[in-house]
């Protein structure tokens, strides 16, 4: 039997309502998502305070709630997205939908609250785009590439759009279909998603659920999980030290093959960094709800073992159980794109050594049949060929550097989408053709996000993983994801086609990655920025 822990009474005002809360030593986030049921406030990294998903207003000022002790806000006024006026939320939702500034939607409520605080700091003259970009340094968004988020800021505050290509409105009825094609799992877009109502597992678990967090042992083992009434309680019982950033540098784990090559490429481990950490819940005797409610983190969550464990634990305890790994748990155990080390010649031949991963050889052969793929056993976190363009994007980068593919030549994905990319001091310029457009706003948003992801991967992303395979970079800021102020301007030209719609953003990812690598001078080791 699990007994609730009690403490002092804290009084505060939340969304205009005076409340009294038992303080058990937890955070403002624990209270907002727990007894107060504010599901728009998301937990993406607690207690790191580095992703911005839990941002709320405290006396009108934006604050990340996961590192704010409840006792510190006694007597204060707290505002969440649910506490804003309906017409104000509607205006922000319309701006984000028009700009394509929200995809999975997990980070969006926190960003909206950040923008509300920024706007209210100068109501007569809303800050310019560059100031809004700097405000986003407190946030992580893995889907949109920032540009469409800043477009939404300008639309919502009446500032004239400064992007090279403004919102490209299309057939809204087909938006969900295009989003699902680009995200490679069921996905919807629209006002409810901006409000954070994407149906995420941690938001939909029954009120009487227990919480399970990883202890010591593999994720697949139900006995390795620690149970509590609340997330805070379960984490305390697990006794684990929270995330850290190491001072050790990241190194590519594979040596390049010997040979007379025109180009050599070695990649580090990198973190996909989905904003919603992997989660699942299950009722006793029921079917589990998993981490694919609104998007699959571009392949990072497609084969989660947590659903099966949730079923076992729910049946064992006779109550609903929510599997709630922390950010550092997801970094340690979540799927990564396999590191590679390759050499290639101008004629397209070469060798690509890659961490052993199911399906990776087949993925590379579809775009680079002349590359010999050698799978290698190395110690490290799990890998997956389902991640965005895993393997074949690396092959495109390597072959472009070797001269086997021409600079600016169309990159053709295994599904037949074509993309070109130019990267220079003026920014990133992309063209994409992927069958019927369906919805121009959604397609453009995903392609901008893919361009940012490629730029960030090539220039700055890495994880420190030791020779035993242990990950040492566990905090959001250690991943190296490029922030909004440092992201180059991205323009996307969508070329309509008559064929069946196929994923276009993966081709954009590969094309921008290759163009970025050449822009940096084709350094043999990534990241190269």
**Residue 251: pLDDT above 90?**
yes
Give the span between the Cα atoms of 498 and 294, in whole angstroms.
Answer: 28
- Regarding predicted confidence, which is higher, 162 or 364? 364
**Residue 171: pLDDT above 90?**
no
DSSP calls for 197-221 = -S--HHHHS-TT-EEEEE-SS-TT-
Q: How many CA atoms lie within 13 A of 319 on its CB side?
A: 16
Judge contact between 267 and 526, C-beta under 8 A.
yes
- Cα→Cα distances 49→147, 162, 464, Å: 23, 31, 21
**Residue 380: pLDDT above 70?**
yes
pLDDT range class, residue 490, cuts 50, 70, 90: very high
> What is the rounded average pLDDT of the residues 411-415?
96
**Residue 53: pLDDT above 80?**
yes
**Residue 460: pLDDT above 50?**
yes
pLDDT range class, residue 240, cuts 50, 70, 90: confident
The angle that helices 175-183 and 440-459 make with each other, rounded to 10 degrees, is 20
Q: Note the pLDDT of residue 162.
A: 62
Residue 317 in 3-state DSSP? helix
Please write the tens of the pLDDT for every residue from 36-50: 999 999 999 999 999
Question: What is the homologous superfamily of the domain 8-82 according to CATH?
Answer: Beta-grasp domain (3.10.20.30)
> What is the rounded average pLDDT of the residues 143-163?
88
Q: Note the pLDDT of residue 1.
A: 41
**Which residue from 240, 266, 395 is spatially nearest to 331, judged by alpha carbons?**
240
Give the span between the Cα atoms of 151 and 162, in whole angstroms.
Answer: 8
Element (H, E) at 79: strand 77-79
Sorted by where each begins, the domain ranges of the chain are 8-82, 203-241+278-324
**Residue 389: pLDDT above 80?**
yes
Q: Structure tokens of 97? A: 């939908």
pLDDT range class, residue 7, cuts 50, 70, 90: low
Of 139-153, 155-169, 347-361, least confident by mean pLDDT is 155-169
Q: Note the pLDDT of residue 169.
A: 47
Judge contact between 508 and 450, C-beta under 8 A.
yes
Judge contact between 95 and 128, C-beta under 8 A.
no
pTM of the model: 0.94
Please write the tens of the pLDDT for every residue from 331-362: 999 999 999 999 999 999 999 999 999 999 99
The angle that helices 392-402 and 360-367 make with each other, rounded to 10 degrees, is 40
First to last CA, the chain: 53
> What is the rounded average pLDDT of the residues 222-251?
84
Q: Note the pLDDT of residue 163.
A: 59
Per the rule left: phi > 0, alpha: psi between -120 and 50, beta: everything else, 312 is alpha
Of 125-139, 214-228, 286-300, least confident by mean pLDDT is 286-300
Q: Note the pLDDT of residue 248.
A: 75
Q: Structure tokens of 356? A: 């052993």
Q: Note the pLDDT of residue 409.
A: 87
**Residue 485: pLDDT above 80?**
yes
Give the span between the Cα atoms of 514 and 495, in whole angstroms.
Answer: 21
DSSP calls for 149-186 = HHHHHHHHHTPPP-SSS------GGGHHHHHHHHHTS-
**Residue 3: pLDDT above 60?**
no
**Residue 159: pLDDT above 70?**
yes
Judge contact between 475 and 244, C-beta under 8 A.
yes
Element (H, E) at 77: strand 77-79
DSSP calls for 94-136 = HHHHHHT--SS-SSHHHHHHHHHHHHHTSTTSPPPHHHHHHHG
Judge contact between 370 and 459, C-beta under 8 A.
no
* Residue 507: Cβ within 10 Å count: 33
Q: Note the pLDDT of residue 322.
A: 97
**Residue 160: pLDDT above 80?**
no
Whole-number average pLDDT of the chain = 93
């Amino acid at each position: 039997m699990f007994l609730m822990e009690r403490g002092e009474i804290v009084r505060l005002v939340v969304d205009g309502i005076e409340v009294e809360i038992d303080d058990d030593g937890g955070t403002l986030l624990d209270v907002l998502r727990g007894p107060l049921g504010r599901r728009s406030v998301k937990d993406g990294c607690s207690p790191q305070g580095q992703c911005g998903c839990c941002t709320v207003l405290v006396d009108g000022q934006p604050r990340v709630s996961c590192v704010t002790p409840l006792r510190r806000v006694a007597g204060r006024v707290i505002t969440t997205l649910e506490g804003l006026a309906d017409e104000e939320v509607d205006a922000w939702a319309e701006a984000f939908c028009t700009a394509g500034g929200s995809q999975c939607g997990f980070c969006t409520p926190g960003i909206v609250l950040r923008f509300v605080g920024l706007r209210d700091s100068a109501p007569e003259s809303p800050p310019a785009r560059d100031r809004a970009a700097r405000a986003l340094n407190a946030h992580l968004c893995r889907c949109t590439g920032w540009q469409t988020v800043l477009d939404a800021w300008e639309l919502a505050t009446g500032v004239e759009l400064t992007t090279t290509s403004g919102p490209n409105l299309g057939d809204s009825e087909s938006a969900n279909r295009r989003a699902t094609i680009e995200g490679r799992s069921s996905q919807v877009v629209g006002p409810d998603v901006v409000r954070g109502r994407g149906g995420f597992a941690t938001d939909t678990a029954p009120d009487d659920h227990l919480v399970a967090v990883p202890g010591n042992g593999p994720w697949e083992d139900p006995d390795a999980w620690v149970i509590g009434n609340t997330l805070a309680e379960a984490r305390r019982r697990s006794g684990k030290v929270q995330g850290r950033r190491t001072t050790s540098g990241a190194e590519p784990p594979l040596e390049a093959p010997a040979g007379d090559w025109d180009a050599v490429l070695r990649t580090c481990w990198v973190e996909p960094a989905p904003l919603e950490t992997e989660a699942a819940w299950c009722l006793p005797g029921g079917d589990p709800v998993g981490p694919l409610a609104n998007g699959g983190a571009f392949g990072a969550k497609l084969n989660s073992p947590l659903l099966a464990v949730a079923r076992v634990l729910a049946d064992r305890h006779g109550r609903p159980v929510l599997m709630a790994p922390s950010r550092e748990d997801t970094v340690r155990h979540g799927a990564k794109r396999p590191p590679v080390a390759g050499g290639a010649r101008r004629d397209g031949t070469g060798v690509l050594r890659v961490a052993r991963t199911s399906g990776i050889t087949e993925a590379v052969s579809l775009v680079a049949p002349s590359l010999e793929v050698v799978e290698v056993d190395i110690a490290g976190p799990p890998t997956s060929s389902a991640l965005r363009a895993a393997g074949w994007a690396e092959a495109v980068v390597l072959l472009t550097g070797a001269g086997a593919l021409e600079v600016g030549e169309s990159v053709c994905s295994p599904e037949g989408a074509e993309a070109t990319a130019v990267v220079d001091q003026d920014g990133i310029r992309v063209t994409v053709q992927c069958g019927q457009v369906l919805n121009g706003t959604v397609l453009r948003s995903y392609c901008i996000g893919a361009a940012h992801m490629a730029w960030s991967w090539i220039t700055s992303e890495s994880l420190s993983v030791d020779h035993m395979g242990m990950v040492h970079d566990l905090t959001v800021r250690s991943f190296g994801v490029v922030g909004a102020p440092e992201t180059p301007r991205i323009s996307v030209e969508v070329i309509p086609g008559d064929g069946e719609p196929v994923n276009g953003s993966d081709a954009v990812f590969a094309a921008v990655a290759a163009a970025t690598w050449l822009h940096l001078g084709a350094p043999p080791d990534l990241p190269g920025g």
